[in-house]
Amino acid sequence: MDAKARNLNQIFDGTISFQIPLFQRPYVWNVERNWAPLWEDIQELMDYQLRTTRIRTHFLGAVVLEQMKNVAGSIETHQVIDGQQRFTTLQLFMIAARDVCQQHDSEKFYERFNDLVANKASKVDFEHERYKVWPTNNDREAFKLVHAAKGPEGLERELENLPDWQDQNHQVLGGYRYFYRKLDDWLQGKLSQEEASAPAMPVKDRLEALWQVIGNGLQVVVINLDDEDESQVIFETLNARGTQLLPADLIKNYLFRRAQSAGKDIEPLYERHWKAFDDKFWRKEVKQGRIKRPRIDLYLQHYLTLMLRDDVRSAHLFEAFKEYVLALEEQAAEDADTASGRQQRVQLSTQPLSIEEHLQSMSRYARSFRTFAVPPAGSRLAVFLSRLQAVDTATVFPLLLLACDQLLPKQQAEFDRLLVVLESFLIRRMLCGMTSKNYNRLFVDVIKALDKRGEITAMALQEVLLSNTGDSVRFPTDEEFRQSILHKSAYQNLAQYKLRAVLEAIDQAQGVKKSEVLPLPPRLTIEHIMPVKWQENWLIPEAVSSDPEQRLSFILQRNQALHTLGNLTLITSSLNPSLSNAGWSNKRPELAKFSKLNLNRYFHAPAAGKVDSLTDWNEQTILQRSEDLFSSASEIWPYASVTAG
């Protein structure tokens, strides 16, 4: 290993190509964290050079390079093992500097900067060798656009002629625009830190300062690996802090380096199995629980949990993946001694062996996971995922990945039945106040139990869940479910969004079959029918009001009934103020008049000639409505929805 500090002239001058392998992550640097701090450092150096005519060196960090074996007569080529974000940024800066020089009619400095970003056409054999730095696949089209733009206006004209310009890496385009604007403003004196009394520096002096700082003032430590250096180990070590690269980036590097070492053509492998992982969908941060994480991290955690049949911590994704790959290889070597070795270990999710099989497997399950983010509108999966947000657990996703892979698209009806079983288990436990702390272990054990059965069906899942005992894992019976709905203080025990999801599900289930199914209005609020401050308009019966003990007992009983499901409904926020603490005789007609929810048809006055059972609203009528809600809830979330045969 050879490490030397070099300025940008020494690095980029001459005919040379720095190639960023496709298994590196895309360009992700941005204004706040990277471009603005870099610009401030460079501007300070340029202002200092203008004032003193002296060059102050500035260290930019390190890059790790691995020299490629070149055919005689071809240009010198290096792979960028680490530091590709820094190298790409410096190239964007120097391309912007080149184009600004042309804008200010400086042919001399245009040519100097152009020599640092492009090789002469007469010196190269392939189109990509024209560029001093050749980015990873996902950035190439945007990088070529920037190289040819000759300024932001030219870039915008090119983009107008490209209908798929949205697919280009906006970070590459954004970096070029940012540095061009800053450089142009600085050359015009708009960003000057000179004293107000000092004469304005001419553009030619500023161009000289720009060149001296960029060419000679900025330094990078270049670490060149030799044949004996383990580039993968060095790559992992440099990024062990976990702040720069996602686990997916490390996994990508690991797999493609191994494929390359095995003599595989990695470009087709990338196109078929990994390219989709480099788009913005997978890097978008999404909320799971109380924290936000890149979507691809969530996927990898669920994927590895499924593959390993073991709970995987988010902080150890790369280490777990590498151990998984090596363990499978060791197992395969042992199985080579017995013809039936691998067959004896077949699981519902087939274990990959080769690097290509690993890429195929990750890509295949990722298609299912992508469906979870945008499920088909109106599908049973969309309903399930919406209600899963109320349960607030992601531990079922490994099981969902397995079910999607095994059942879809040919067995859609079976998949939907499986979702009903799973949803019933989760919602019943939530309404019964049962813990979700052991769900990560529980659903790993469920997958193992399904492995033993050799099938994943709604019936098999139901039997596995019904066989569990103990409060942390069992399936609540109908009577437990009923008693919880009738007597538990749902309003106090469940968060508002959980309770709202339950009531919305019941509302949908109570729809009249002859009428169309309409989406519920947004921002519905939970309303106590008998208000929390009931004393104002809901009098204590005279029979108990005079006896202190009976009065206290009555108040305790009423306060308990207040928060049960039977006393709760959904209303629009605009209706809420008019209901407030009104008495039953006023609240009931308001509900009937303004609320169109199925849930509130219960409170409508009966047809002429029918007996009205709701002339009063009290503990008994609350209990009666709780029974009605249980009837609906047990149909939505049955104890045993699947029968044999």
The last residue of one of the domains, among 243, 277, 296, is: 243
- Cα 94 to Cα 114: distance, rounded to the nearest angstrom: 8
641 in a domain, yes or no?
no
- Cα 63 to Cα 87: distance, rounded to the nearest angstrom: 8
Is residue 520 located within the same domain as residue 593? yes
481 in a domain, yes or no?
no
The last residue of one of the domains, among 447, 476, 505, is: 476
Strand 525-528 and strand 285-288: the pairing is: unpaired
Inter-residue contact 394 to 288 (CB < 8 Å): yes
Is residue 446 located within the same domain as residue 308? no
Question: What order of strands is seen across the sheet that includes strand 218-225?
Answer: 2-7, 218-225, 58-67, 76-82, 16-19, 133-134
209 in a domain, yes or no?
yes
Is residue 109 located within the same domain as residue 197? yes
644 in a domain, yes or no?
no
Is residue 81 located within the same domain as residue 120? yes
Query: What residues pair up with 223 in beta bridges, in sequence order?
Result: 3, 64
Q: How many residues does the chain have?
A: 645
437 in a domain, yes or no?
yes
Kindly state the DSSP code that residue 566 receives in the 8-state scheme: G
The last residue of one of the domains, among 189, 212, 243, is: 243
Is residue 556 located within the same domain as residue 578? yes
Tell me how many domains the chain contains.
4
Inter-residue contact 90 to 110 (CB < 8 Å): no
The pLDDT tens digits of the residues spanning 499-540 come to 999 999 999 999 865 556 678 888 899 999 999 888 888 888
Is residue 549 located within the same domain as residue 526? yes
pLDDT score of 51 = 86
pLDDT score of 516 = 60
pLDDT score of 466 = 97
Kindly give the parts of the chain with pLDDT less than 70. Answer: 1-2, 70-73, 163-169, 192-199, 226-245, 337-346, 512-517, 574-578, 645
Is residue 359 located within the same domain as residue 455? no
pLDDT score of 320 = 87
**What pTM did the predictor assign?**
0.73
Is residue 545 located within the same domain as residue 617? yes
Is residue 65 located within the same domain as residue 165? yes
643 in a domain, yes or no?
no
Is residue 279 located within the same domain as residue 352? yes
pLDDT score of 607 = 80
| Own/partner pairs, 520-523, CB within 8 angstroms, 24+ separation | 520/570, 520/597, 521/572, 523/572, 523/573
Is residue 558 located within the same domain as residue 570? yes
Strand 16-19 and strand 133-134: the pairing is: parallel
Is residue 295 located within the same domain as residue 167? no
The pLDDT tens digits of the residues spanning 243-271 come to 456 888 889 888 998 998 888 998 899 99
Structural domain for 622, as ranges: 487-636
132 in a domain, yes or no?
yes
Q: In angstroms, what CA-CA distances link 346 with 302, 310, 442, 613?
A: 20, 16, 21, 61
385 in a domain, yes or no?
yes
